[in-house]
A and B are shown apart, each in its own frame.
Chain A
Amino acid sequence: AQKVTQAQTEISVVEKEDVTLDCVYETRDTTYYLFWYKQPPSGELVFLIRRNSFDEQNEISGRYSWNFQKSTSSFNFTITASQVVDSAVYFCALSERTSGTYKYIFGTGTRLKVLA
């Protein structure tokens, strides 16, 4: 069965610290997609990144980087030199083809608080 686990419920860091948000997933499919979304206090889920199961290259986008490891079924997200504006709830999600649809299965989220 599909499952996404974000074991860290809440993390607090001081501005400029680096922080890593963990995501572990379960799937029986060989083809699947992983996502990270940010949910600021306004409530809208903002898409950050997509990774498919055949591409294990890590990705960097500005202060954000993602580490995808199929061997440990993990897709971790690191924010370098965190800023107060990074404060939000971050969700990891998994999508695979079940019943002909590509629905997204979300983890429970990690609330990140960046303190000035």
Chain B
Amino acid sequence: DTGVSQDPRHKITKRGQNVTFRCDPISEHNRLYWYRQTLGQGPEFLTYFQNEAQLEKSRLLSDRFSAERPKGSFSTLEIQRTEQGDSAMYLCASSLPGRGTEAFFGQGTRLTVV
């Protein structure tokens, strides 16, 4: 399978716990995005990497959120001290370099904070 892979697919955690999600982009894609999607809404941009450099972070990304992309390959998104409001689908996408290239999305990680 050469698509974008996310792990885990589902995560249930207690409020206050830390969680980490992993994304493996399509191998030749140097751009990687994290989005969050809540019920009935479209995906909202969280952060963007070009290779290993994190070039943009949304204001939605509070201090409890951190993302990394070591060596420009896979990426991790960590949420510390989870809150019920963090419950959402977390989507990862990757794209080739260039202007306006289409992004390919993974199947997402559904986080439920109880």
Contacts and interface: CB of A to CB of B under 8 A. Distances in A.
A108 B41 contact: yes
Interface centre among A6, A47, A103 (most CB of B within 10 A): A103
Contacts of A35: 102
A45 B91 contact: yes
Interface residues of A, number: 30
B45 interface: yes
A42 interface: yes
A50 B107 contact: no
Nearest to A6: B42
A43 B108 contact: yes
Contacts of B99: 31, 33, 97, 102
A91 B43 contact: yes
A47 B100 CA distance: 13
Contacts of A101: 48, 50, 55-56
Interface of A: 4, 6, 31-33, 35, 37, 42-47, 50, 52, 91, 93, 95, 97, 99-109
A43 B99 CA distance: 26
B42 to A, nearest CB: 3
A50 B102 contact: yes
Contact of A45 (B31, B45, B50, B105): B105
Interface centre among A47, A52, A97, A99 (most CB of B within 10 A): A47
11 contacts: A42-B107, A45-B43, A47-B103, A47-B105, A50-B100, A101-B48, A102-B100, A102-B101, A103-B45, A104-B103, A105-B45
Given A35-B102, A44-B107, 11 more contacts: A33-B100, A47-B103, A47-B104, A95-B100, A99-B55, A101-B56, A102-B99, A102-B101, A104-B93, A107-B42, A109-B40
